[in-house]
Structure formats: C-alpha cells, structure tokens
Amino acid sequence: MVEPLKKNTRLEKRKGPVMLVIMDGVGYGKYEKGDGFKAAMTETLDELMSTCPTVKLKAHGKAVGLPSDDDMGNSEVGHNAIGCGRVFSQGAKLVSESIKTNTMFTGETWKKLTSNCSSKNSTMHFIGLLSDGNVHSHIDHLKAMITKAKEAGVKNVRIHALLDGRDVGETSALDYFDPFDEFCKEISTDGFCAKIASGGGRMVITMDRYNANWNMVKLGWETHVLGEGKTFGSAHEAIETLREETGAIDQDLPPFVIAEDGKPVGTIEDGDSVVFFNFRGDRSLEITKAFESGDDFSEFDRKRVPNVEYAGMMEYDGDLHIPNQYLVTPPAIDRTMGEYLAASGVKTFAISETQKYGHVTYFFNGNKLGKFDEKLETYEEILSDVVPFEQRPCMKCAEITDRVIEVIESGEYDFIRLNYPNGDMVGHTGVFEAVVCSMEGLDLSIGRLKKAIEKAGGVMLITADHGNSDDMFEHDKKTGEVKKGASGKPKAKTSHSLNPVPCIVYDPAGKGEYKSELKEGLGISSLAATTIEFLGFEPPEDYDPSVLEF
C-alpha cells in the first residue's frame, strides 16, 4: 500500500477534471513523405500545438526500458511508462539479460521442459513470432533456446513460426525464415533435429488479444497442435505460394503446415513440451488459455488436447498467474500513478475500445488486472469492430468521445484517461489513405473533447505512447528517399517508428502558475508526474520529472 499524495502548493487544482488523451501511434514524423499524421487535415491539433505549451517526448528505446535506442516503443511498454512514472527494464531487455547470464537455462522451468523431452524422447515445440521486431519476440532468443535445448539432451525440436510484417517490413518474412531454416539444418547434427512445422500471419492465427477474435486462436490451434491445414514442403514454398495466391502481406498470410511424405512434421502430442516464446503478454494470453484450461474451456472446440509441459516466455498476467510456468520473471512494477491516486481519494474513469482497453487498464496499472479501489475507479470498454481496420479507419473514436463527454459533464470524476487506437491499429495496415482518414477522425474527436473540457473548467493533456502513423513509407536510411514496391508505388511501412510523440497541455483556466515553455529531453514516463501536479498533488520524489517548469 502507498501513502496518500501530498498537496501541491504551486499548482491549484482546476474546477473540472484532468483528462489524459493517449493518441495511440501518433508521433512527429522524420520524413515529409509518408507522414500520415502530417498529411491529414487536423485543424484542432494544429491549433492546440501552435497556441498551447507543447513539447516532444521520447517514446522508444531506453526511455521506455528497452535494450537500446534502436528499439521502437510499443503500446505495452508505453502505457507501463506513462502509468508508473518511471522506467523499468522491459520484456525484451529482461529476456536478453536472462539468456546472456544463463539464468533462463538454470531455472527450474527450463530444466523441467527439457528433461521432460530428453527422458521421454519427445518433442520440444516453440510457438511465436519469427522476426527481430523486439516488440513481441526476437529471433535471437529462439535460436539461443534451440541451441540450449540440444545441449540439454532434447532430440527433436519443432518451430511453429508466425509471420510478422508489422513490427518489421510488411513483406520481410523470407529475410527471417530462410536464414532460420539454414540455422535449423546446421544445428541438426548428432541425432538432433530442428524443423519449422507450421506458420501463418500474426493477424490471422494465434495472436488475438482482449478476446476480440477467438477464431484466430482456433486457427492457430488447428495449425500448430493438430497439423490441420494446407500443407507445403517448406516454409519458403508456403510463403511464396500463399503470397501469390492471396496478395496478402506477411501479417495477413493464411496458415500453413509443413509436411513430409504427406504427414505433418510437427503436431503436438502427449508428453511433448511447448514454449510460447513471445515475451509480450497481451497477444499471449488466449493461446496460453487454450493450452492450460481444462474441460471448462468453451471458446472453441479444441478437438484434441495433448498432455504437455507448457510454459510462456514470461508471466503474462501477474494477478491471475498466467501461465502456470514461465521462463523469465517480468518486471515488478510498483507504486503506479493509479495506486497513488486511489490512495489519495481521486475518482478515476478509464476508457478505450477493445483493441486498447487493456492498455489504459492492465498495462497502465503496471501489469495489474483489476482495480486499486472499486469505489473510486470505473473502467469502460467500447467493443471494437471485428473487421480489417483500414475498412473502419475512425474505429470507435466517436463512441469513445460520446461517452467521455458524458463523463465530463457528469462532474463525477477527477481524472479521466482514454486511448484512441486509430494511429496504431490503422497504421499497422500500411494503407496510407486509411491512416490519413483515421487522423482526421481523431482530430474531430479531440475538437469535441476540447469544447467539453473548456466548459467544465478542466485540463486536457494530449500525448501518445509511441509513433506509427507518422512513418508509413519505407525510406532509405542514407538518402531518405522513399523506397518503391514492385508496382512502383511507395513501399508501405507497417511497424512503429522511433519518432518522438507530442505532449500538449490544454489548460484554459490556467493562471500562469507555470512557464509556457515545457521541459525538453524527457520521456513519456514524465506524464505521470505532470498529471499528478494538475490534480493538485506533489508527485512521488522518485518519479521522473513533470514537463511543467515553475
């Protein structure tokens, strides 16, 4: 339990609520061409940035706890940083350190998984995203585990590899699959055999989140576990053939099964061990539930449930302790802003649509499921459409805004936080026109919030968790020129950017208590202290500094 926050003597709380608006995936673009945010007509945001205190915040790399500044931020670590006001070592860094120090391989879970296979001469399976995107997984982690599995006496390894095309280039799969296939062949000596057994696009199978589309998990189960689906002689053949047949980019490629002599090479059977090697939690929970649930599982017909030793790369839910076994302990994020506000009697309202609901709740609260105080906190989810996001680029902006305006007008809450998913979810589609449309829809919503917060006498802080919509084309790193695809059109970029994000302070009832120039060089973790100051409290001493300069 934390102590209540002390009263702020430098900044008086405004009459209305403090509202934190997170524009998911909206940053300041480095390039003119391909910047969907800049290309959009955003009259409200343009006006706010030209008339209100505004500063750029870091939202990637070390500023959010990732291993290096070459690592793009993501929604999970971004909301962790915003919500806890400090920087913790995050998934990718924790896993890399665990492998480097050999801690993973001396742990009881790893020993249990490998000895299970070596003693029964059974197969060790690895399921996860095959890329170096470092948002959900990293291919080097997988290679290290396969190497150590061989050293531990495991004889057979099968990899169920999901195509990325979202945190890396949209059609870059073969840049990972082909070298990885060679790695498997090279390591397959002395009675050891490693093979790719199945695969498919990450937005088609296995990696659903927030219970948005369980059919994705069903397809993953049938592909990885049962070996059902279209068969090919190799992953290379599967990817090339399915691309030609469907025209889909990597993340949307249909599932495939690798077979030899008409038989799948890697179904999951009784006595096997299974590692889900993604370290990020949101898209790992549902497939984990499918493996770990008993007869009460009702999301789909699993047909056959093998008796296996299952483990996740990390503990994906620290409150429900999912999975039962994991290889690396996640960061212990404590003393979040949400916990302090609850201890201080602040009434809080959090809202987003399904795709980002967990980010303004679970991740914002330091990977904690549930509330700190049921009486003081209200969480609301607007159900997302189950359609490709480029077909609904505004997503649920209007519905979120409708509800937030009701909440503002009610006068019931001191602090409101919300997430608009458009910039990220539509940005990941790679469809530039849809991104521009999504940004214009977002701007209209913020315009409505601006009027409501001004009328209520409150404060609106506008920011983002990372960039995406601001960098929609692939660029040559040396020349800055836009890369062209086979059609001669700009090559779409579907991954996050390394760009800074905005921090806009709209404080219409301000009385000049702080300078109009905000502190520079800070990261998004500074938003917690900023929010706390506007709520009329002093931030905890070890929180990263507020952007406000007194």
Q: Which pLDDT value is given to residue 319? A: 55
Cβ–Cβ under 8 Å, residues 459 and 16: yes
Active site residue 75: yes
Give the burial string for 86-105 (b: 16+ CB within 10 Å, else e): bbbebbbbbbbebbeeeebb
Cβ–Cβ under 8 Å, residues 451 and 431: no
Classify burial at 520, counting beta carbons within 10 Å of its beta carbon; exposed 0-12, middle 13-18, buried 19 or more.
exposed
Mean of pLDDT values over 264-292: 95
Specify the domain boundaries for CATH 3.40.1450.10 within the chain. Answer: 92-328
Cβ–Cβ under 8 Å, residues 146 and 187: yes
Cβ–Cβ under 8 Å, residues 382 and 354: yes
Quick one: three-class SS letters along 522-541? Answer: CECCHHHHHHHHHCCECCCC
Mean of pLDDT values over 360-378: 95
CA distance 364 to 81: 8
Quick one: fold of 92-328?
3.40.1450
pLDDT in tens, 119-170: 999 999 999 999 999 989 999 999 999 999 999 999 999 999 999 999 999 9
Q: Which pLDDT value is given to residue 91? A: 80
Mean of pLDDT values over 311-333: 85
Mean of pLDDT values over 335-339: 98
CA distance 419 to 218: 29
Cβ–Cβ under 8 Å, residues 373 and 400: no
Cβ–Cβ under 8 Å, residues 347 and 397: no
CA distance 211 to 232: 30
Look at residue 103 and tell me whether its pLDDT is greater than 80: yes
Q: Which pLDDT value is given to residue 1? A: 86
Per-residue pLDDT band at 344 (split at 50, 70, 90): very high
Q: At what angle do helices 139-151 and 173-187 cross, to 10 degrees?
A: 10
Specify the domain boundaries for CATH 3.40.720.10 within the chain. Answer: 18-89+332-534
Look at residue 449 and tell me whether its pLDDT is greater than 60: yes
CA distances 13 to 226, 277, 333, 418, 540, Å, are 59, 46, 28, 20, 17
CA distances 162 to 57, 204, 224, 392, 492, Å, are 32, 10, 10, 25, 20
Cβ–Cβ under 8 Å, residues 522 and 86: no
String of DSSP letters for 261-313: TTEES----TT-EEEE----STTTHHHHHHHH--TT--SS--S-----EEEEE
Look at residue 265 and tell me whether its pLDDT is greater than 90: yes
Percentage of the residues of the chain whose pLDDT score is greater than 90: 88
Percentage of the residues of the chain whose pLDDT score is greater than 70: 99
Q: Which pLDDT value is given to residue 550? A: 95
3-class secondary structure, 241: helix
Catalytic, out of 75, 98, 445, 526 = 75
Per-residue pLDDT band at 67 (split at 50, 70, 90): confident
DSSP class of residue 252 equals G
Residue type present at position 5 = L
Look at residue 317 and tell me whether its pLDDT is greater than 80: no
Look at residue 351 and tell me whether its pLDDT is greater than 70: yes
Q: Which pLDDT value is given to residue 318? A: 61
Q: Which pLDDT value is given to residue 330? A: 73
Segment among 33-37, 48-52, 205-209, 319-323 with least mean pLDDT: 319-323
Q: Which pLDDT value is given to residue 143? A: 98
Cβ–Cβ under 8 Å, residues 273 and 125: yes
Find out if CATH 3.40.720.10 is the number for domain 18-89+332-534: yes
Q: Which pLDDT value is given to residue 90? A: 81
Spatial CA neighbour of 76 closest among 137, 135, 162: 135
Segment among 30-44, 90-104, 314-328, 387-401 with least mean pLDDT: 314-328
pLDDT in tens, 480-512: 999 998 788 999 998 889 999 999 999 999 999
Cβ–Cβ under 8 Å, residues 96 and 112: no
3-class secondary structure, 450: helix
